[in-house]
Amino acid sequence: MGRGGERACCRIALFPRMRATEVAVGFALLCAATPSAAQSNKLLCPAGTHAVRQTADSGYSETCEDAYKVRSGPFLARDASGRKRIEGSYRSGKENGTWKEWHDNGKEASEVTYEEGQAAGPFQEWYPVDQILF
């Protein structure tokens, strides 16, 4: 299932093949869940990238881009009330790692793992009441 750049999400799992930069990105995503990081509203981007924020009436998204506007590092989208909607990460402009989406009620809606922009793991989707859809 391919998703556009604004439609995706992430739980970081550290794998033996990960480079130091990828571990730093994973740590940044894990730290983003802490109150101090949430209060600062700062996305921790890998070296050589900078945070980019796009806003809309429905909310905003944040990601990291290099000088050529290629996404690398964490991605986070929130709705207008600040609830997390989508979380994931990019590597060289492609979805990489686990992406998650949440329902309006805050419960997990879907989870899929990507490698270099391709779905590479099981895809799960839940109804808003925690029942697995497929």
* Rounded-to-integer distance, Cα 114 and Cα 118, Å: 5
φ, ψ of residue 22 in degrees (nearest 5): -65, -40
Q: Are 113 and 106 in contact (CB under 8 A)?
A: no
Look at residue 10 in the predicted model and tell me its pLDDT: 35
* Rounded-to-integer distance, Cα 122 and Cα 101, Å: 15
The pLDDT tens digits for 3-49 are 343 333 333 333 344 444 444 444 444 434 333 334 346 789 999 99
Where does the pLDDT of residue 74 fall: very low under 50, low under 70, confident under 90, or very high at 90 and above? Answer: very high
Of 38, 69, 36, nearest in space to 52 by CA: 69
Look at residue 42 in the predicted model and tell me its pLDDT: 77
SS3 assignment, position 27: helix
Asked if pLDDT for residue 105 goes beyond 80, the answer is yes
Global pTM?
Answer: 0.67
Residues 48, 71, 96, 118, Cα dihedral to 10°: -140
The pLDDT tens digits for 51-63 are 999 999 999 999 9
Asked if pLDDT for residue 108 goes beyond 90, the answer is yes
